[in-house]
Amino acid sequence: MSIDGFALRIEGHILIRSYTDLDARADEVVHLRKRNAVHPENMSIAVARALAGLQTGHLYSLHFGTGGATVDALQAVVYADPNTTGSADLNNPVYSEVIDTSRGAPTGNSASVRHISGSAYSDVEVRCVLDKTEPAGQASFDNVTTTLAGGFVFDEMGLKTDDGLLLTHATFNPVEKTSNRIMEVIYTLRCTVS
């Protein structure tokens, strides 16, 4: 009796950029290009649920937090380790957006799949747009000196299922969201089978 096996590898990449207007992207600012960490146990649960056709087996929301980076006494940025074991969450979650278009995602938010025929990988591309009015309570302008301890200076993010399983986690340099700019996150998960 022969048992065929394969390895599933999931790698994530995050791009964060902002604009004053989505139609005129000449003023685009790229804030971040970074890989992220994957929670292996939670991802295996999500993959199994998706194969079984369960509602909780897919990406539901993108979460933003403020506990991913600190500044030490020498003014060096120190990054928190990504949370990828146990009942993990962001270090300090402060905001989230639904990205599941079948379950109330705002306009501009989505998750889609790209595949090239004959290849052993597929990409899940999550798009999340924080419009000028989101989140409520943000600073008005990004050209004013503000404290990095503000609630909408994000330095961590992660993807979750609708029952709260943290699938990915990334920590990075702080990125401020203000009401004079639109922020767009493109979060890509490459799924490779070998």
* Whole-number Å distance between alpha carbons of 16 and 122: 21
Percent above pLDDT 70 for the chain: 89
Domain boundaries, the chain: 27-193
pTM: 0.88
Q: Rounded mean pLDDT of 88-97? A: 94
**Over the stretch 30-47, which tens digit does the pLDDT of each residue have?**
788 888 899 999 999 999
| Helix extents (H) in the chain | 40-51
Q: Rounded mean pLDDT of 147-161? A: 78
**Over the stretch 106-139, which tens digit does the pLDDT of each residue have?**
999 999 999 999 999 999 999 999 998 888 877 7
- Nearest residue to 96 via CA among 181, 191, 185: 185
Structure-block tokens of residue 25: 């992207």
Q: Quick check: 111 and 126 in contact, CB under 8 A?
A: yes
Looking up tokens 């969450």 gives: 89
